[in-house]
Amino acid sequence: MRIAQVAPLFERVPPVAYGGTERVVAYLTDALVELGHDVTLFATGDAQTQAKLVPAAQRSLRLDQACTDQMAPQVLQLELVSQVAHRFDVIHFHTGFLHLPLARHLAAPSVTTMHGRLDSPELVPLMREFTDAPFVSISNHQRRPFPGARWCRTVYHGLPPQLLPFKSRPGGYVAFVGRISPEKRVDRAIAIAGRAGLELRVAAKIDAVDREYFTREIEPLMRQPHVRYLGEIGDHEKSALIGGARALLFPIDWPEPFGMVVIEALSCGTPVLAWPCGSVPELIEPGVNGWIVNSIDEAVEALARVTAIDRAACRASFERRFTADRMARDYVGVYQRLRESSRGGFEARTA
Amino acid sequence: MRIAQVAPLFERVPPVAYGGTERVVAYLTDALVELGHDVTLFATGDAQTQAKLVPAAQRSLRLDQACTDQMAPQVLQLELVSQVAHRFDVIHFHTGFLHLPLARHLAAPSVTTMHGRLDSPELVPLMREFTDAPFVSISNHQRRPFPGARWCRTVYHGLPPQLLPFKSRPGGYVAFVGRISPEKRVDRAIAIAGRAGLELRVAAKIDAVDREYFTREIEPLMRQPHVRYLGEIGDHEKSALIGGARALLFPIDWPEPFGMVVIEALSCGTPVLAWPCGSVPELIEPGVNGWIVNSIDEAVEALARVTAIDRAACRASFERRFTADRMARDYVGVYQRLRESSRGGFEARTA
């Protein structure tokens, strides 16, 4: 199939450091190429991809200090897609909502993957106007605010299987990976590890908005001897850190639409101990690849049982459900159905 | 004619305080209604207008603290315009570049007024893709970065003639009205008034980004006895302040595409002393409604001659060139030519 992938322009594809959406687009695009499809990636000029690249800006906007107007390249990107839409069997947008009014007029069917949470009130009148726009959710939970939208499918994110290799023998510590922010609850991770008598290694970035929270609430907790703060780390260190952990702690307190680090852990064979928020119940199979807990007490208890979990079974759950190849095949199924039911825009409302 | 006006959603139409674009849209829309046209305004629900109102958000985004996603209402607005495009003879966008990829597909001709400066490098590739999109400039100077764009006309902004009434006898002070920011050069105004032995009244808001500049550079200058700082003022106070001034000082140091306060002064009959940046040479007729100067020395000298300028001639220059009625008639001319040459999108490239 001739497939267009339309990425956000904020981070590189794949991102240099953080950046969830652009990372997924990178893995998906390369996996589609490997399946033999003819893929064109609309992204920034610094993207690294096996697909044909159509840049709408030279460099990712977050890295480009000279860029004073971030909207202009995004508008340009939409126009570039629009001009060649007829050359594609399907156009896959990852650009939020920006393209929706235009997508209705395009000369090819399109689908949009929602990458963020959908519970903000501004989306209600918008989604009311786009009941015919085909969407893909990244977890079933993510759909809850809009059960009546035209959901084609949930497609869970996937990773290249060699990215975070399986590690059969972990070290004696547990890990926390993410942002330091109130909804990520690193404070819970610190408490759990402390009560379990285990070292906690924390790899996390601190956004400017969370700096005060870090200083006031988290930094004092971090001074405890069982906590080791590593700052923000790259892909290679992440693999070593997560692979070496006895368990990943994922004590989130918000409806995270997809927990990327959960499947990163499973790729290493590392079981995950998580609170049942957002996508978690869809990713964790209790006793097979981790445990779902509702309190510090339950978490400490589960951690005592975590060695009962077979790390090879964790990796197997990853290979079965969370590889980039599986993600790409799921999307190809979505594309094929769209192609059968529509020649452009959102015209085929029966799909 | 059946005319759609599409306003930005950031400020109310008209704005509660500051907000250039939304103010112009308000005056234009009401003046078009007064000319007998059938006008629909796409704006926020708190707009005050004589036209039919189609809201894309309940309240202007800058006032809505609860709004966490400012893009969603803007996208919704584009979709609402798109759905009823066929009902209009012309659609007039004031929304920057956001709508351009969509406007190409609309079932009515459209035109876009550029309200900002156009010299940022991100616009170069964007404008290259939209050489067929009809634009209106708000000064000839504004066009300079893109002489090859499809400029339909320059339409200078206009004000309702009763908004800032003519005042024949000024007080003994001079005025500065605008933001406190490096490119507005209030420091020059302070120096000019000081050397001329005149009181300077400053009505200006200070944006967060300019707070440090104000504290470091301007506040010490403001402590001089000839300077009176009034803070940010409303429309009524503005009329009294500008109308009572012997001259308005407009010592700008940037290519301002249109100096709104210049025509506010002329409406009061107050002559303007300005540096020749941006639109200034197009607005000021030296010796008739003000003076154009290139240095503090020249400004002090011109200020000594300013009583030679007839305030009634200043007002006459306003009534001839800068009323909302004249602005609306100019735009109607643009709309008529578009309507004759196009049935939708940007298809008629010969216009």
CB nearest to B75's CB, from A75, A79, A126:
A126
B 109-138: CB under 8 A from A: 120-123, 125-126, 129-130
Distances (CA, A) of B316 to A42, A61, A268, B247, B263: 54, 48, 79, 16, 11
Q: What mean pLDDT comes out for the span A238-259?
A: 96
Quote the tokens at residue A34. 């490997």
Residue A144 has pLDDT above 60, yes or no: yes
Average pLDDT of chain A is 94
CB nearest to B126's CB, from A68, A76, A102:
A76
Residue A309 has pLDDT above 50, yes or no: yes
pLDDT at res. A68? 78
More confident residue, A344 or A331: A331
pLDDT at res. B300? 97
pLDDT at res. B341? 85
Q: Which residues of A touch B100 (CB under 8 A)?
A: 75, 79
Q: Could you tell me if A209 lies within 8 Å of chain B, comparing CB atoms?
A: no
The string of pLDDT tens digits covering residues B270-324 is 999 999 999 999 999 999 999 999 999 999 999 999 989 999 999 999 999 999 9
pLDDT at res. B87? 97
Evaluate whether B28 touches B14 at the Cβ level (below 8 Å): no
- Kindly give the parts of chain B with pLDDT less than 70: 347-351
pLDDT at res. A343? 76
Q: Which residues of A touch B76 (CB under 8 A)?
A: 125-126, 129
Residue A84 has pLDDT above 60, yes or no: yes
A350 confidence band (pLDDT: 50, 70, 90): very low
**Which of A82, A126, A183 should be substituted to probe chain B, the one whose Cβ sees the most B Cβ atoms within 10 Å?**
A126
Chain B's closest residue to A56, CA to CA, is B125
Gap from A36 CA to chain B (nearest CA, Å): 31
Three-state secondary structure of chain A: CEEEEECCCCCCCCCCCCCHHHHHHHHHHHHHHHCCCEEEEEECCCCCCCCEEEECCCCCCCCCCCCCCCHHHHHHHHHHHHHHHHHCCEEEECCCCCCHHHHCCCCCEEEEECCCCCCCCCHHHHHHHCCCCEEEECCCHHHCCCCCCEEEEECCCCECCCCCCCCCCCCCEEEEEEECCCCCCHHHHHHHHHHHCCEEEEEEECCHHHHHHHHHHHHHHHCCCCEEEEECCCHHHHHHHHHCCCCEEECCCCCCCCCHHHHHHHHHCCCEEECCCCCHHHHCCECCCEEECCCHHHHHHHHHHHHHCCHHHHHHHHHHHCEHHHHHHHHHHHHHHHHHHCCCECCCCCC
Distance CA A8, CA A325 (A): 22
Contact A72 B104 (CB under 8 A): no
pLDDT at res. A267? 98
A 74-113: CB under 8 A from B: 75-76, 78-80, 82-83, 96-98, 100-102, 104-105
Chain B's closest residue to A345, CA to CA, is B105
Q: Which residues of B touch A66 (CB under 8 A)?
A: 121
Gap from B86 CA to chain A (nearest CA, Å): 14
Contact B73 A122 (CB under 8 A): yes
A145 confidence band (pLDDT: 50, 70, 90): very high
The string of pLDDT tens digits covering residues A5-21 is 999 999 999 988 777 89
A347 confidence band (pLDDT: 50, 70, 90): low
Gap from A93 CA to chain B (nearest CA, Å): 15
Q: Which residues of B touch A122 (CB under 8 A)?
A: 57, 67-70, 72-73
**Which of B79, B91, B119, B132 should be substituted to probe chain A, the one whose Cβ sees the most A Cβ atoms within 10 Å?**
B79
Chain B's closest residue to A66, CA to CA, is B121
